Structure 1
Amino acid sequence: LLQSRLAQNSAPAKEPQSHAVRAVIALAKEVERINQLKAQIIVEMTTLGENLSEVPLLVSIPGIGIKTALCLIAELGDVRRFHSANAINAYIGIDLIRYESGQYEAKMHIRKRGNPYARKILYRAILNIISVSQYQPTLISANYKRKKQSAQSHGTKKIAIAAMSQFNRLMHHLILNNELYDSTTFMPE
């Protein structure tokens, strides 16, 4: 009944029994089914991830929720296997390419050869960290805002890539040392 009303409102020029209205009803039901499946998968991920030691460490960072932490762990695997945060950057594909030839020096770009899903999750994580920084500032959000307000600002995405690299260093440190995020230790200057 709700889908029928929504379909009528979304296709007001069509008759209630027309093909267009029936198609919208079917698509609305499919969206509801997918949303329920997504919610069920998130509950299952949370249940499976409760035993992982990395989850509470990542969730202790302001702006990182359980879903983001689990997605990062799922895409990166065991962070301890990386010898440094730069290795995580290379795995994700945010390591920089530097090209020089004689006097010519090209602009630096990220490699983008790594895991695109991890890169997207990390980008969203940075946006979350920045959005909660009004209430819970971090060194990452402070550096992001400082670079963004700089007169030599190079664009939001490049600044976000730098923040992603900084987040990787923080994540690598916390997991290797089995530490929770402490705002007094990692506080903005």
Structure 2
Amino acid sequence: MGDLSRFSSSKKVNAYIGIDIRRYQSGSFLGNDHINKRGNSNARRVLYLIVINMLKQQRWGPNHIVEYYYKLKEPPYSKKHKVTMIACINKLIKCLYSLALKGTLYDYHLASRKSD
């Protein structure tokens, strides 16, 4: 992905990776939303594997992205796995973008306070 400071917002990082939402709409017809997939497929794959590994290694320490995954899987939301994974990748990108711009390390307690 390179230097994240070249992007002006985390939404532009999402567009670069290709997980921004593509909406199809014509007149009164509104199609299903999908991810764009026009971005960097290697970065998309790496971020997907990062979230998968976070889920596998959750016993080693708390992580707000894993908590967000299980929150979206609970009955009021009950999102499908791929939809939940894209939402977690989006949250991970926001977290990485913020950490890269501020030059700080990840702190679970600080991140969990911001997500509440």
Query: Does the pair score TM above 0.5?
Result: yes
Shift of 1:93: 0.6
Larger Cα-atom Rg: 1
1:182 to 90, 94, 107: 107
Extract unaligned runs of 5+ from structure 1: 1-75
More displaced, 114-123 or 97-106? 97-106
Alignment of 1:26-105 (within 5 A): 76-105=1-30
Alignment of 1:1-20 (within 5 A): none
- Structure 1 position 143 matched with structure 2 position 68: yes
Aligned-residue CA RMSD (Å): 1.5
- Cα distance in 2, alignment partners of residues 79 and 142 from structure 1: 25
SS of 1:186's partner is helix
- Structure 1 position 159 matched with structure 2 position 84: yes
Runs of 4+ in 1 over 3 A off after TM superposition: none
AA partner of residue 146 (structure 1): K
- Cα distance in 2, alignment partners of residues 134 and 102 from structure 1: 49
- Cα distance in 1, alignment partners of residues 69 and 35 from structure 2: 18
- Structure 1 position 171 matched with structure 2 position 96: yes
- Cα distance in 2, alignment partners of residues 85 and 129 from structure 1: 21
**Structure 1 residues 92-122: Cα deviation after superposition (integer angstroms, max 9, x where no partner):** 1100011222322111100001111000000
Superposition TM-score, scaled by structure 1 size: 0.57
Q: How many pairs align? A: 114
- Structure 1 position 126 matched with structure 2 position 51: yes
**Structure 1 residues 55-101: Cα deviation after superposition (integer angstroms, max 9, x where no partner):** xxxxxxxxxxxxxxxxxxxxx01111111111111111100011222
Shift of 1:131: 1.8
- Cα distance in 2, alignment partners of residues 109 and 90 from structure 1: 13
AA partner of residue 55 (structure 2): I
